Amino acid sequence: MPKADAINYFTGKGDEYKLDLLTNLTDGEITFYTQGGLYRSLSRPAYSHTGFYKSHKAYKYCRCLLEGDEKNKQLTRIYGVTFPNQKELDEYLLMLEEAKKRDHRKLGKELGIYTMDDNVGSGLVLWMPNGTVIIEELEKLAKETEKAAGL
């Protein structure tokens, strides 16, 4: 769809977010798709048909900034999944719960391997005594392996 037509369409809908996204696009880059009451600027339909998806769940949300710019409005992003049946949805949700139990951020703190402090630096690992032992053992193994390889 030509950019001017897309701007006219979304202006009529009062969709300021779509209009904002269109500002950085040029003719030839805009694909327009409608399905029922939904309208999207996508390269393909979101779903081939909604009758295929019998089970769905919104499982997480977070705040985000439009286009990651702190000057823009804050939005809420909703994460969801759909599956053809409840069994597959339940299996997926169980897999997510099991993954949480093995999350390295959680285990690192629980096992006293490392901690993080935003005042020191976002994402910067501070090694605890148990973590220091692991680091020293890994360095020792690396040196032994290099020596055995003649490096």
Position 130 scores a pLDDT of: 94
Position 15 scores a pLDDT of: 79
**What is the Cα–Cα distance from 76 to 60, expressed in whole angstroms?**
10
Position 139 scores a pLDDT of: 97
Other beta carbons less than 10 A from residue 107's beta carbon: 12
**What is the Cα–Cα distance from 114 to 134, expressed in whole angstroms?**
11
Position 98 scores a pLDDT of: 93
Strands (E), the chain: 33-35, 38-40, 55-65, 74-83, 114-116, 125-127
What is the mean pLDDT for each group of 10 consecutive residues in the chain (151 residues)? Answer: 84 80 78 66 55 81 81 84 91 92 88 89 89 95 96 87
Contact 80/56 with Cβ under 8 angstroms? yes
pTM here is 0.51
